[in-house]
DNA sequence: CTGAAAGCGCTTACAG
DNA sequence: CTGAAAGCGCTTACAG
């Protein structure tokens, strides 16, 4: 940082903050070039003598110069910011995804602005705050945007990518697992192991993920000639909801022997509920299959058999889409569906 | 959004993006005032006729005008951005904290820029990217910044707040639980229930949280006249580390009857390890106490007795500090310590 | 290939 | 109390 002083960049009156940052002006002066030329050196498309560019880039590195993205965005209307809206943070699936998404976005030079709403209601205000930074795009995890918020994104010119859970809005992008297929896999898995009476534990009823997994599961079961599975409404994607669902499960006159849950966290709650409240054995009395394959599913205390999500592929697809959208936000909305991974068989299922 | 058109704000040449945003200029024209006056209306300290201010604010609301923070920051050197650096996302304690911190920061009008590094090594680059946005401060969760990164924060003028885990750097802020006291509480708890031979499962050895909890625990145990607890090095704050530590625990010639773990997630792993690998009963053979009181600790399948962190207080303190720092970054570094909550007694401990 | 100039959307001394 | 002007750090037509 000595070079900063070499340059003679003084703190200046505006910087009570003590921020002495190298600006394009400093760099230009140091190099004896015009600001325009220096600026151009940073853009591959810009026409500038190769030798000049090299000189600029080299000196920039030495002085630790980086273009100020705030100033850039004022001119370019691009911010290199990806908004990330999250609400259902209690599902461990999302921290895992957030972390990997953020890393991927950093790699393409984007920064992530995080909006996290404990309650769904509070999301709107936060989205407004986010939008004032004009993010190049916003990625929505496990949250449902109000139609007002969606409209605001549109007027702000920030396209929305729904990750995992899709939106009913036809104007937004989506990256998701082929959940219906995943539901079908769960059905095949249980039927192959000779289960006869199946059930589905439904989470948040309106979530696309929930509906697709349910429908895929039911459809396949019926196709295979078994009776249509019972559906128990747990109400949300949470451990508690799964735990409560065990109560309703206990009331069934004919007890199912195979259960597919909307996701892992619901499955874990359901299993605990079934064990504690109904005194049943898993997998002795019933088999339970989850969806996601979060790290916890692999813990010995749980050993959950589950349909794995193709997280790597989903993250890559999202990052790629982000790169495209950052370059040209006018792409037409598209929904990408990735095939689920193979079922991971652990200890919550067995052959009947 | 109709008003935008009323105003006659055209998309303009620069906005291929279709971003038609109301600017201060538009608002001024609409109100027949100067840009200066309009701008002033948004600052409580600025001198402007009350009636004028009201008018401006009202119309701004109607048109959906919000000052562009990018442009603002160019003048003010304040960005209203809080950087958030996270690495240990597998510990569920952090998602809970992130979510609440983000919400609190949004309430004081700050936005959160997230850096998440899967491996500690990759954090430096991401921090550089973050710093180019000149965050008013950066909050560090469960991560250790390289000294180079810390220096960069300093030259960038962004003060660092270490949350939970403290830094050895004397130049940074900190908000943490009184971990030593928490360790002492765990000791008292086990001793009161007549445990005689105690052990501590250590996580990442260099983490301040780990050291303080350990030392507080050991000190209190010795003070109370018991023999100094065995310390087993699990190596990291993870389930896997706890699980592995059970192996080392099994090798001990004299088996402890009470174990205090560096945090909940380590405790859960340790318990599973002890049960699966050693065939021991918890709490039959040994009692286990954790630290944090994450949601999972309360699950029936775990029922972990644990020292609760004062998360609410820690989050409030951090947000308050952020507000102060955003206003004046030259505050002197201070470390806030909050008392741990009472131990939550569940089913992994019993009286001997 | 390079430079001078305009302007992105703001804030804030400086006059009046 | 208000307005005209300068300037924050950039990019990018426009000349040369």
Is the CB of B100 less than 8 angstroms away from the CB of A118? yes
Q: Which fold has domain A179-308?
A: Rossmann fold (3.40.50)
Q: What is the CATH number of domain B78-177+311-338?
A: 3.40.50.2300
| CATH H superfamily, domain B179-309 | Response regulator (3.40.50.2300)
Mean pLDDT of A18-36: 87
Is the CB of B114 less than 8 angstroms away from the CB of A113? yes
How far CA B345 is from CA of B101, B190, B351, in Å, comes to 27, 11, 11
What residue ranges in chain A does DSSP mark as E strands?
81-86, 111-116, 137-141, 160-163, 173-177, 198-202, 230-233, 258-261, 287-292, 305-308, 335-338, 343-344
Nucleotides of C strand lying within 7 Å of any protein CB atom: 1-5, 7-13
Smallest Cα distance from B61 to chain A, Å: 13
User: Which segment, A305-319, B75-89, B324-338, is predicted with the most confidence on average?
Assistant: A305-319
Confidence of residue A117 (pLDDT cuts 50, 70, 90): confident
Q: What is the pLDDT of residue B10?
A: 38
CATH 1.10.260.40 domain residues, chain B: 2-67
**β-bridge pairing B173-177 and B335-338:** parallel
Q: What is the pLDDT of residue B87?
A: 86
Find the Å distance, CA of residue B317 to C1' of nucleotide C13.
36
Q: What is the pLDDT of residues B222-256, one digit of tens each?
A: 999 999 999 999 999 999 999 999 999 999 999 99
Q: How many pairs of residues across A and B have Cβ atoms under 8 Å apart?
A: 188
Q: What is the pLDDT of residue A125?
A: 82
Residue A18 has pLDDT above 60, yes or no: no
Q: What is the pLDDT of residues A165-222, one digit of tens each?
A: 999 888 899 999 999 999 999 999 999 999 999 999 999 999 999 999 999 999 999 9
CATH 3.40.50.2300 domain residues, chain A: 76-177+311-338, 179-308
Confidence of residue A20 (pLDDT cuts 50, 70, 90): low
Nucleotide nearest to A43 (CA to C1'): D11
CATH 3.40.50.2300 domain residues, chain B: 78-177+311-338, 179-309
Of A1-10, A40-49, B216-225, least confident by mean pLDDT is: A1-10
Percent of chain A with pLDDT over 70: 93
Residue B14 has pLDDT above 60, yes or no: no
Confidence of residue A11 (pLDDT cuts 50, 70, 90): very low
Find the Å distance, CA of residue A80 to C1' of nucleotide C1.
29
How far CA A335 is from CA of A94, A143, A184, in Å, comes to 20, 17, 20
Of B14, B115, B134, the CB nearest to A77: B14
B132 contacts in chain A (CB < 8 Å): 66-69
Q: What is the pLDDT of residues B38-56, one digit of tens each?
A: 999 999 989 999 999 999 9
The owner of tokens 């998404």 is A101
Are the C-beta atoms of residues B114 and B86 closer than 8 Å to each other?
yes
Residue B1 has pLDDT above 60, yes or no: no
Is the CB of B79 less than 8 angstroms away from the CB of A100? no
Is the CB of B18 less than 8 angstroms away from the CB of A329? yes
Percent of chain A with pLDDT over 90: 76
Confidence of residue B330 (pLDDT cuts 50, 70, 90): confident
Find the Å distance, CA of residue A78 to C1' of nucleotide C8.
12
Find the Å distance, CA of residue A74 to C1' of nucleotide D5.
20
Is the CB of B89 less than 8 angstroms away from the CB of A95? yes
Distance (Å, whole) CA B219 – CA B228: 8
The rounded mean pLDDT for chain A is: 90
Q: Taking the CB of residue B88, how many other CB atoms lie within 10 A of it?
A: 23
Q: What is the pLDDT of residues B2-12, one digit of tens each?
A: 333 334 443 33
Q: What is the pLDDT of residue B19?
A: 53
Q: Taking the CB of residue B221, how many other CB atoms lie within 10 A of it?
A: 25
Q: What is the pLDDT of residue B169?
A: 85
Q: What is the pLDDT of residue A123?
A: 80
Are the C-beta atoms of residues A116 and B125 closer than 8 Å to each other?
no
Q: What is the pLDDT of residues A242-266, one digit of tens each?
A: 999 999 999 999 999 999 999 999 9
> Which backbone phi and psi does A281 adopt, to 5 degrees?
-105, 135
Smallest Cα distance from A338 to chain B, Å: 23
Is the CB of A99 less than 8 angstroms away from the CB of B113? no
Mean pLDDT of B107-119: 87
Nearest alpha carbon to residue B259 among B202, B192, B206:
B202
**β-bridge pairing A287-292 and A258-261:** parallel
> Which backbone phi and psi does A292 adopt, to 5 degrees?
135, -50
CATH class of this structure's domain A76-177+311-338: alpha beta
> What residue of A is the nearest CA neighbor of B68?
A132
Residue A308 has pLDDT above 90, yes or no: yes
Q: What is the pLDDT of residues A39-70, one digit of tens each?
A: 999 999 889 999 999 999 999 999 989 999 99
Mean pLDDT of B75-100: 91
Q: What is the CATH number of domain B2-67?
A: 1.10.260.40
Confidence of residue A83 (pLDDT cuts 50, 70, 90): very high
User: B202: burial class by Cβ within 10 Å (0-12, 13-18, 19+)?
Assistant: buried
How far CA A178 is from CA of A164, A174, A292, B89, B153, in Å, comes to 10, 12, 12, 26, 43
């Amino acid at each position: 940082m000595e070079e900063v002083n070499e340059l003679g960049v003084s703190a200046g009156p505006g910087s009570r903050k003590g921020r002495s940052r190298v600006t394009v002006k400093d760099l230009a002066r140091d190099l004896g070039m015009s600001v325009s030329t220096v600026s151009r050196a940073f853009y591959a498309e810009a026409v500038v003598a190769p030798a000049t560019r090299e000189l600029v880039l080299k000196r920039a590195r030495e002085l630790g110069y980086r273009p100020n993205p705030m100033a850039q965005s004022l001119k370019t209307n691009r911010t290199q910011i990806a908004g990330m809206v999250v609400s259902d943070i209690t599902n461990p699936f999302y921290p895992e995804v957030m972390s990997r998404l953020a890393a991927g976005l950093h790699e393409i030079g984007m920064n992530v602005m995080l909006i996290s709403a404990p309650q769904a209601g509070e999301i709107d205000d936060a989205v407004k705050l986010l939008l004032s930074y004009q993010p190049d795009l916003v990625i929505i995890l496990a949250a449902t945007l109000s139609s007002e918020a969606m409209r605001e994104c549109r007027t702000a010119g920030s396209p929305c990518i729904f990750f995992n859970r899709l939106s009913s809005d036809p104007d937004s992008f989506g990256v998701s697992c082929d959940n219906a297929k995943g539901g079908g896999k769960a059905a095949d898995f249980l039927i192959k192991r000779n289960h006869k009476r199946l059930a589905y534990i439904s989470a948040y009823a309106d979530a696309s993920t929930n509906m697709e997994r349910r429908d895929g599961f039911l459809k396949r079961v019926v196709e295979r000639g078994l009776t249509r599975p019972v559906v128990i409404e747990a109400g949300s994607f949470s451990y508690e909801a799964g735990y409560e669902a065990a109560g309703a499960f206990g009331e069934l006159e004919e007890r199912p022997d195979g259960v597919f849950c909307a996701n892992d966290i619901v499955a874990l709650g359901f299993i605990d509920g079934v064990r504690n409240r109904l005194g049943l054995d898993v997998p002795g009395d019933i088999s339970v299959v989850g969806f996601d394959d979060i790290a916890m599913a692999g813990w010995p205390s749980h050993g959950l058999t589950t349909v794995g999500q193709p997280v790597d592929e989903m993250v890559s697809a999202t990052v790629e889409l982000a790169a495209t959208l950052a370059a040209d936000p006018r792409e037409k909305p598209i929904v990408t569906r990735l095939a689920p991974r193979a079922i991971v068989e652990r200890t919550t299922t067995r052959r009947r």
